[in-house]
Amino acid sequence: MNDWQDITTWRVLIVDDETTNRDVFAETLLYFGAQVVKASNGVEALAHIRQQAPTIILTDLAMPKMDGWELLRTLRADPQTRHIPILAITAAYTLPGDRERVLEAGFDGYLAKPVEVSAFADVLRETIAKARQRGAV
């Protein structure tokens, strides 16, 4: 069982088609002590999730093969994965109203790129707290 306040107990899946973005998020999370797994699209993410469910998923929304929207729908439709908190991290959906649209779609959190590292861990905790409120974790 994870201690939601202790990031060192987390297994984080980062899903982004940009290698640099995956690496920056991974380095930040590793600095905080989290375990990190990376995927370049939703198809790869599903393969990782089948092996071991993560504590939280950070996903880009616009990716080839399977985007973050489809990944969300797939995970929420499966009783074994619907509980996993999912944070949308995006540069493509940053217009007025996009944040609300993302949250209404079922994501537990939203973060626009570029991400401020100083607020990153707090946003992760808020995302998990929201998922816990909906009874997911």
CATH, residue 35: 3.40.50.2300
The tens digit of pLDDT for each residue in 25-81 reads 999 899 889 999 999 999 999 999 999 999 999 999 999 999 999 999 999 999 999
Strand (E) or helix (H) holding 1: none
From residue 60, give the alpha-carbon distance in Å to each of 3, 28, 51, 135. 25, 16, 21, 24
1 belongs to a structural domain: no
Quick one: what percent of the chain has pLDDT higher than 90? Answer: 65
Euclidean distance between CA atoms 109 and 61, whole angstroms: 12
Q: Which of 44, 41, 39 is nearest to 12 (CA)?
A: 39
Q: Which one is predicted more confidently, 44 or 133?
A: 44
Q: Which of 46, 43, 38, 45 is nearest to 19 (CA)?
A: 38
55 belongs to a structural domain: yes
User: Does position 15 have pLDDT exceeding 50, yes or no?
Assistant: yes
Q: Which pLDDT belongs to residue 114?
A: 83
Amino acid at 128: I
74 belongs to a structural domain: yes
Q: Which pLDDT belongs to residue 136?
A: 61
54 belongs to a structural domain: yes
pLDDT band at 2, cuts 50/70/90?
low
pLDDT band at 125, cuts 50/70/90?
confident
Euclidean distance between CA atoms 128 and 131, whole angstroms: 5
Q: What are phi and psi of 109, to 5 degrees?
A: -160, 165
Taking CB atoms within 8 Å and a gap of at least 24, the contacts of 17-20 are 17/41, 17/60, 17/62, 17/63, 17/64, 18/60
The residue segments making up the domain with residue 65 are 7-133
Q: What is the mean pLDDT of the chain?
A: 89
User: Does position 4 have pLDDT exceeding 80, yes or no?
Assistant: no
